[in-house]
Amino acid sequence: MTLLDLNEGDSAIIQSIITDQLPKPMLTELLELGFFPGAEIQLKTKSEYLGKLICILSGTTIGLRMKDGEAILLKT
C-alpha cells in the first residue's frame, strides 16, 4: 500500500520510500520533512484535479505530488 492508496482522513505508518522512483532532490526534501520509516502520516485531502496529496506529518501540513505519494510505502 502506498500513500496514494490511503483514503482521506486515514492514518498509517511509513514503512519505506522507494528511492528509485524519486529524483534525488525530492528524496532529500522528503527526508528533511521527516518522511522516515516508523513516522505516522495522515492523508487529509486527495485532489485528483490538482494532482496533489495534502498530508499531516508530525503536526505539519505538507502538499505532495500524487506521483511522489506512490513512492511512499505504508504498513498495512
- Measure the CA–CA gap between 34 and 32, rounded to whole angstroms: 5
pLDDT tier, 41 (very low <50, low <70, confident <90, very high otherwise): very high
Quick one: residue 67, left, alpha or beta (phi over 0 = left, psi -120 to 50 = alpha)?
alpha
Mean pLDDT of the chain: 95
Whether 22 shows a pLDDT value over 80: the answer reads: yes
> Above pLDDT 70, what percent of the chain?
100
Residue 19 has a pLDDT of 92
Residue 76 has a pLDDT of 75
- Strand 11-17 versus strand 60-65 pairing type: unpaired
